[in-house]
């Protein structure tokens, strides 16, 4: 549970237009007028994941939005949250919310903090889980009756509570959430295609969005349609990041790639804690780790990209493919499928190297028909099965395999370079200043991500070129020695 409580609202909630009738209209999210009192969830469920025009075009001018969350750099709501948490049982803290250089708002040490010290102690009563009490209990009961998994349940819970506004127990928390998350879940398909064409993270984002939509459609068919009073037809759920608890105070902590400390449940105090892995002076920002994630994964889930070269867990996915013209294409594909792989496969590349599985795939891709007896073992070594020998060596095709990998690196690098060169002059297709900020920001995130991914590929390219050069010059030397021997024995 607590493992999963590394919850970050940005993955769970989008911009959040709700039904209400006495708030300022928003330029890109609109809501229908609905009587608030009777149907808590009716209001709740007329919300949309979209921050794009899509929403506006489907709604009418009489619709209004309820403000929710705040600007990411707003301290006012964050301080109100801190006061409410203290009043609700959060023990005195050695950290306070402040404006910070990394992550806009964050938790900053108020006193000296020792290495190895436990911090936070958020009691279970202040953690949002699938067992939390619903402000609108009918909806909770229906969802539980259908055993809805934790993450969609929590997302619906938050929507529901947000619609209750001040009368929700969590209103201070909800008001402190950043209104505009930049995780890839909130990028439109056009934005993903335009800015992340070079990066494999685009596919991951599309996959995850498809997953969320699939879950929503499933819920709609199975549950919402059966309870139209509670869940009306127009329901649209926000994206949901697959987390199972929300920890209000803890999720003010920003991520640092070099920090090795994660949220945990402390049995003795029955609270959510983390143990510092370094000391902090007063005024220093305190960080946790959101997990050992690549820059692409951080952008995907949390909407930020760490500074280039600062993430030791950074990696980029390289796609390798069998050639359709390969005489043994069918046999190779069959061998791959047997081990859960396909004709096109992604492998993670780090600045320190690439996995053995990638080389095994490359061996298979370049091996001639005379090696068909080895296809099976090559495919097994390329798979993520751990009980097979991975460090295969086939000296007779090693050079071709390395060249094949190098070619794949170079194809990928040229895609990144094309995007990065074009990004300077990219027409953003903007119709409003608000959109301009968003587009500029997304473009910058894409540029940062692509630069860091290309950097890893450049390094890999350099290593491979050297390896091939050494190999070829070694062969040349051997050939020369062989020739001189031949001359001696002539
Ligand atoms: C759990 S919240 C942390 C609190 C957040 N800064 C706030 O003001 O609400 C996670 C969000 O903080 C920001 N963030 C966290 N770590 C960051 C980092 N290292 N660099 C930039 N932004 C970061 C991202 O917007 C992320 O989605």
Same domain flag for 33 and 117: yes
Same domain flag for 189 and 244: yes
Q: Which among 120, 187, 262, 302 is the best mutation to test ligand 1's pocket, defined by most ligand atoms within 8 Å of the CB?
A: 302
Residue 133 lies in a domain: yes
Binding residues for substrate, by number, are: 251, 265, 290, 302
Same domain flag for 274 and 397: no
CATH number for the domain that contains residue 132 = 3.90.1410.10
Tell me if 10 CB under 6 Å of ligand 1: yes
Q: CA distances (Å), 152 to each of 12, 130, 136, 147, 317, in order?
A: 9, 10, 16, 11, 29
Residue 295 lies in a domain: no
Residue 151 lies in a domain: yes
pLDDT at 459: 97
CATH number for the domain that contains residue 447 = 3.90.1420.10
Residue found by looking up tokens 């209004």 in the block: 64
Residue 308 lies in a domain: no
Q: Which two tokens stand for residue 37?
A: 């009192």
How many angstroms does the Cα of residue 184 sit away from the middle of ligand 1? 14
pLDDT at 292: 94
Q: Which among 8, 96, 103 is the best mutation to test ligand 1's pocket, defined by most ligand atoms within 8 Å of the CB?
A: 103
Tell me if 175 CB under 6 Å of ligand 1: no
Q: Which among 185, 255, 261 is the best mutation to test ligand 1's pocket, defined by most ligand atoms within 8 Å of the CB?
A: 255
Atom of ligand 1 nearest to the CA of 183: 27
pLDDT at 431: 63
CA dihedral 377, 378, 383, 385 (to 10 degrees): 30
Tell me if 178 CB under 6 Å of ligand 1: yes
Contact 187, 258 (CB under 8 A): no
> What single-letter DSSP state applies at residue 113?
B
Hey, whose CA ends up nearest to atom 22 of ligand 1? 103
pLDDT at 11: 34
Contact 383, 339 (CB under 8 A): yes
User: 307 Cβ partners below 8 Å, 6+ apart?
Assistant: none
Hey, whose CA ends up nearest to atom 21 of ligand 1? 103
How many angstroms does the Cα of residue 53 sit away from the middle of ligand 1? 26
Residue 307 lies in a domain: no
Hey, whose CA ends up nearest to atom 1 of ligand 1? 251
Same domain flag for 218 and 345: no
pLDDT at 263: 86
Residue 229 lies in a domain: yes
Binding residues, by number, are: 251, 254-255, 265, 290, 302
Residue 302 lies in a domain: no
Tell me if 103 CB under 6 Å of ligand 1: yes
Same domain flag for 214 and 259: yes
Closest C-alpha among 138, 148, 134 to residue 223? 148
Count CB neighbours of 421 within 10 A.
10
Tell me if 241 CB under 6 Å of ligand 1: no
Same domain flag for 334 and 219: no
- Reduce the DSSP state of residue 342 to 3 states and report it: coil
Structural domain containing residue 375: 315-479
> What single-letter DSSP state applies at residue 238?
P
Q: CA distances (Å), 117 to each of 122, 200, 248, 277, in order?
A: 15, 39, 20, 8
Question: H-helix or E-strand containing 194?
Answer: helix 189-195
β pairing state of 287-288 and 254-255: parallel
Name the domain boundary from 231, 253, 288: 288
| Spatial distance between the Cα atoms of 391 and 405, rounded to a whole number of angstroms | 16
Same domain flag for 260 and 332: no
Same domain flag for 108 and 243: yes
Tell me if 173 CB under 6 Å of ligand 1: no
Question: H-helix or E-strand containing 83?
Answer: helix 75-87
Same domain flag for 281 and 325: no
How many angstroms does the Cα of residue 250 sit away from the middle of ligand 1? 12
CA angle in degrees (0–180, nearest 5) for 318-311-419: 45
Total structural domains in the chain? Answer: 2
Q: CA distances (Å), 111 to each of 95, 129, 250, 251, in order?
A: 7, 31, 18, 20
Same domain flag for 214 and 349: no
Contact 235, 220 (CB under 8 A): yes
Tell me if 255 CB under 6 Å of ligand 1: yes
First and final CA of the chain: distance in angstroms?
78
CA atoms in the 13 A half-sphere facing the CB of 69: 20
pLDDT at 451: 97
User: 437 Cβ partners below 8 Å, 6+ apart?
Assistant: none
- Reduce the DSSP state of residue 255 to 3 states and report it: strand
Residue 322 lies in a domain: yes
β pairing state of 344-350 and 315-321: antiparallel
How many angstroms does the Cα of residue 216 sit away from the middle of ligand 1? 27
Same domain flag for 165 and 214: yes
Atom of ligand 1 nearest to the CA of 250: 1
Atom of ligand 1 nearest to the CA of 255: 16
Q: Which two tokens stand for residue 304?
A: 């930020």
Same domain flag for 158 and 228: yes
Contact 435, 397 (CB under 8 A): no
Q: What is the mean pLDDT of each run of 10 residues along the chain (490 residues)?
A: 29 31 27 28 33 35 53 87 95 95 94 97 92 90 90 87 88 89 92 96 96 89 85 41 69 94 86 94 96 96 94 97 96 97 97 95 98 96 89 93 97 97 75 74 95 97 96 77 60
């Amino acid at each position: 549970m607590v493992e999963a409580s590394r919850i970050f609202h940005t993955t769970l909630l989008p911009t959040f237009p709700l039904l209400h009738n006495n708030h300022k209209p928003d330029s890109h999210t609109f809501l229908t007028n609905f009587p608030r009192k009777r149907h808590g969830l009716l209001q709740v469920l007329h919300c949309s994941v979209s921050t794009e025009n899509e929403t506006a075009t489907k709604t009418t001018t009489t619709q209004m939005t309820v403000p929710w969350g705040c600007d990411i750099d707003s301290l006012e709501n964050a301080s109100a949250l801190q006061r409410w948490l203290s009043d609700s049982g959060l023990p005195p803290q050695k950290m306070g919310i402040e404006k910070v250089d990394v992550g806009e708002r964050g938790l900053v040490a108020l006193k000296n903090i020792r290495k190895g010290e436990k911090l936070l102690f958020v009691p279970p009563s202040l953690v949002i889980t699938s067992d939390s009490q619903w402000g609108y209990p009918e909806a909770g009961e229906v969802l539980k009756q259908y055993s809805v998994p934790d993450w969609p349940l929590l997302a619906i819970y938050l929507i529901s509570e947000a619609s209750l506004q001040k009368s929700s127990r969590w209103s201070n928390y909800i008001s402190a959430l950043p209104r505009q998350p930049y995780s890839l879940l909130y990028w439109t398909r056009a934005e993903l295609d335009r800015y992340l064409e070079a990066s494999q993270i685009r596919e991951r984002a599309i996959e995850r969005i498809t997953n969320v939509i699939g879950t929503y459609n499933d819920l709609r068919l199975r549950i919402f349609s059966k309870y139209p009073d509670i869940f009306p037809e127009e329901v649209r759920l926000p994206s949901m990041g697959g987390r199972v608890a929300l920890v209000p105070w803890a999720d003010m902590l920003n991520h640092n790639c070099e920090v090795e400390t994660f949220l945990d449940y402390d049995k003795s105090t029955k609270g959510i804690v983390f143990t510092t892995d370094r000391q902090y002076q007063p005024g220093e920002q305190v960080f946790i780790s959101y997990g050992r994630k690549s820059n692409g994964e951080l952008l995907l889930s949390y909407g930020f990209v760490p500074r280039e070269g600062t993430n030791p867990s950074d990696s980029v996915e390289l796609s390798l493919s069998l050639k359709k013209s390969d005489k043994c294409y069918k046999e190779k594909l069959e061998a791959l499928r047997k081990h859960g792989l396909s004709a096109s496969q992604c492998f993670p590349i780090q600045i320190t190297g690439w996995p053995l599985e990638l080389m095994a795939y490359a061996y298979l891709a370049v091996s001639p028909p005379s090696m068909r007896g080895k296809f099976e073992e090559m495919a097994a070594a390329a798979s993520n099965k751990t009980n097979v020998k991975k460090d295969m060596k086939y000296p007779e095709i090693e050079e071709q395999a390395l060249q094949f990998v190098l070619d794949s690196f170079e194809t990928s690098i040229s895609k990144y370079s094309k995007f990065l060169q074009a990004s300077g002059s990219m027409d953003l297709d903007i119709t409003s200043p608000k959109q301009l900020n968003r587009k500029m920001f997304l473009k910058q995130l894409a540029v940062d991500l692509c630069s860091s991914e290309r950097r890893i590929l450049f390094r890999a390219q350099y290593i491979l070129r050297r390896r091939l050069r050494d190999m070829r010059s070694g062969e040349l030397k051997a050939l020369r020695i062989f020739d001189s021997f031949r001359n001696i024995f002539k």
